[in-house]
Structure 1
Amino acid sequence: MTIWQGRTDPEFNSERWHQRVRPLSENAAAGCALLGFASDSGVARNQGRVGAAKGPVAIRRALASQAWHRQGPAYDVGDVICEGDALEQAQQHLGERLAPLLDAGHLPVVLGGGHEIAFGSWLGLARHLENQGNKSPRVGIINLDAHFDLRDPQHVRSSGTPFAQIAEQCEELGWSFHYACLGVSRASNTRALFERAAELQVLIREDRDFSPTAIEELRQDVERFIASCDHLYLTVDLDVLPACEAPGVSAPAARGVSLVLFEPLIETIRDSGKLRLADLAELNPDYDIDNRTAKLAARLVHLLTLNG
């Protein structure tokens, strides 16, 4: 909680996040629950540049001084820390931490950490749905990302495999797999990955599909996807944004999609009434400039939780 510090204004009704975030207590009212995932083991396995394990602290620091506009409470529930290369154990631990938060009615926002965060987030949501007696829930995964992250996990499990792992688990559970990847860079994904995405019937919208004139059509695509699902999990890989907006990531985008173009889609997802869980991945403070990426991630937390 010592991270939650910042400016305090004397005017009435001028609170900021650092003045409102509290530790989670027993029987606390449902609210936004911030949980860190301090890991870049998956990035290292994926031969990326490490440093994302420092992401949760950087996001909290950037969020602390943002203006408070929520109605409901917000809680900091600490971090899941990946020790060394113990990625699978950390993902299991993340799932174990998330399930009771979801059971209690909170909206967890997980702060990463590499995109290996996604499989841990999924484990928590799946456990929660099983706890609720859902036999075959239709869970929609919406990934804002330059990469599919559908690489074959049989070789090595990393930040590049989480959605392939989720697809495998859905098959084992007898659940349908609903996956949308928005902002995909064709230059950064092999033909094999596009073929795998086609096999899994992934909703694909490439970075070049995004423009101000295309936003309404894209929003309708997202609405149709949402209509086919009972629950939503939103995951944002910050490397989907242009390098000028998000320089502090593990794999900076040569093109990317601006936050201005994503915001209407995020609002549609947030306001759907189906969003159960969100996470932010790949913030690497070691390569950030003027905390641009951390501030952008904090802005996303603000946007996702604004109506709570």
Structure 2
Amino acid sequence: MNEIDMSVWTGRCDTGEGELATRWHQEVKPASANPEVTQTPGIALVGFACDEGVRRNQGRVGAVEAPGVLRKALANLAWHQTAPVYDAGDVSCLDADLDAAQQRLGQRVAALIAAGHAPLVLGGGHETAFGTYLGLAAAHPDKVIGIANLDAHFDLREAIEASSGTPFKQIADLCEAQGRPFRYLCWGVAAPSNTQALYARAEALQVQWRPDSALTESQLPQRLAELDAFVASVDLVYLTIDLDVLPAGEMPAVSAPAAFGVPLAVIETVATRLAGSGKLAAADLVEFNPRFDQDSHGAKSAARLAWSIARHWRR
């Protein structure tokens, strides 16, 4: 495990308010790299400092810087956790070898699950998803894993090399090779941003998808009923949130800002529903790009989602 930099966990201290006035920077602890050291099971933050997949996908690079920025955004938020939170450090991709970096992320995720923790991965581009899934699948070889992707894109592209546009096609191929069912739900799809080839592949793979226009607050009751049915049909759930699913006004700091998007309130409701289901086994937040943030608006939105998932995560 890489050395964990706990210096980012700093912020305001309301010492006069007593022990109930703590913030994340006062509570987050480093995850142990020693498998013989037992820690109380909790949520483990893992950074995937990588945007090689975004570069290959002809996007705007910068997501490599996201894990550290998101930790800083989380640091000063009020602590409402009942389970501990650990910082498990970063997995980096410094040599453009994306495949090896995804394997390392998978190994980190699997090790954290073996230690009893729930991994919350801070990407990185959406190439993060294949690494997260590798770890989850290795830790639960006999479980049916349902993928819930909140995203403007299917990310099912067929390509010569892996990128931020290929992770779920890679997962589908892996499932076929391993004889596992591929259960994929993708909500927030923006039609202008997905070719007919991607829709055809989604249909062939029996993807359960909904467009961004079907994820309004008035439609939430119907969507949540569908979500509950999806959760009931699988053993475990992996939640991945591509932050470009949010409207550009709420999330400008991504490679491909959304012209329409799904409101933060809706995304948070769906995410917390999954977190409270008792089946959420791993989650990640991807595509945040600090280089295009405006007055930390994007960082605050992403941190709010991470905070809400952690707060509602029931295991």
Same fold per superposition (TM over 0.5): yes
- For residue 142 of structure 1, the aligned residue among 132, 148, 160 is 148
Residue aligning to 1:176: 181
In the other structure, the counterpart of 1:235 is 240
What is the match of residue 162 of structure 2? 157
Unmatched segments (≥5 aa) in structure 2: 1-5
Of 65, 88, 94, the residue aligned with 1:54 is 65
Specify the code of the residue in structure 1 equivalent to 2:82.
Answer: Q
User: Does 2:15 align with 1:15?
Assistant: no
Q: Distance in 1 between matches of 2:100 and 2:308?
A: 31
Matching residue of 2:3: none
Taking the aligned partners of 2:139 and 2:247, their CA distance within structure 1 comes to 35
Q: In the alignment, which residue of structure 2 is the partner of 1:189? A: 194
Alpha carbons 2:231, 2:237 under 8 Å: kept: yes
List per-residue Cα deviations over 1:43-62 (Å, max 9, x = no partner): 00000010000000110000
Query: Do the aligned residues in 1 keep the contact of 2:66 with 2:288 (CA within 8 Å)?
Result: yes
Partner of 2:51: 40
- Taking only aligned residues, the RMSD between alpha carbons, in angstroms, comes to 0.9
SS in 2 for 1:171: helix
* TM-score, normalised via structure 2 length: 0.94
Q: Report how far residue 211 of structure 1 moved.
A: 1.7
What residue in structure 1 maps to residue 85 of structure 2?
Answer: 74
**For residue 24 of structure 2, what is the amino acid of its counterpart?**
W
Q: Which residue of 1 aligns with 2:74?
A: 63
- 1:210 is matched with 215
Instruction: Identify unmatched segments of 5+ residues in structure 1.
Output: none
Q: Structure 1-normalised TM-score?
A: 0.96
* Conserved 8 A contact 2:216-2:263: no
Q: Cα distance, 1:294 vs. partner?
A: 1.0
Equivalence for 2:306: 301
Cα offsets for 1:53-72 (capped at 9, x unmatched): 00001100000000000011
Aligned residue runs from structure 1 range 76-155, under 5 A: 76-130=87-141, 134=142, 137-153=143-159, 155=160
In the alignment, what sits opposite 1:266?
271
1:71–1:307: 8 Å Cα contact kept in structure 2?
Answer: no
- Cα distance in 1 for residues equivalent to 2:168 and 2:251: 23
Task: After superposition, give the CA deviation of every residue in 1:235-265 in whole Å (9 maximum; x if it has no partner).
Answer: 0000000011011111111111011112221
Which SS does the other structure have where 2:209 is aligned? strand
- Name which structure has the greater RCO, CA cutoff 8 Å, separation 6+: 1
Q: 1:305 aligns to what SS in structure 2? A: helix
Find runs of 4+ consecutive structure 1 residues off by over 3 angstroms. none
Deviation (angstroms), 1:266: 1.3
How many corresponding residue pairs? 302
Are residues 1:287 and 2:271 paired?
no
Cα distance in structure 2, aligned partners of 1:204 and 1:18: 38
1:84 offset after TM fit, Å?
Answer: 2.9
Q: 1:103, 1:128 within 8 Å by CA — same for their partners in 2?
A: yes
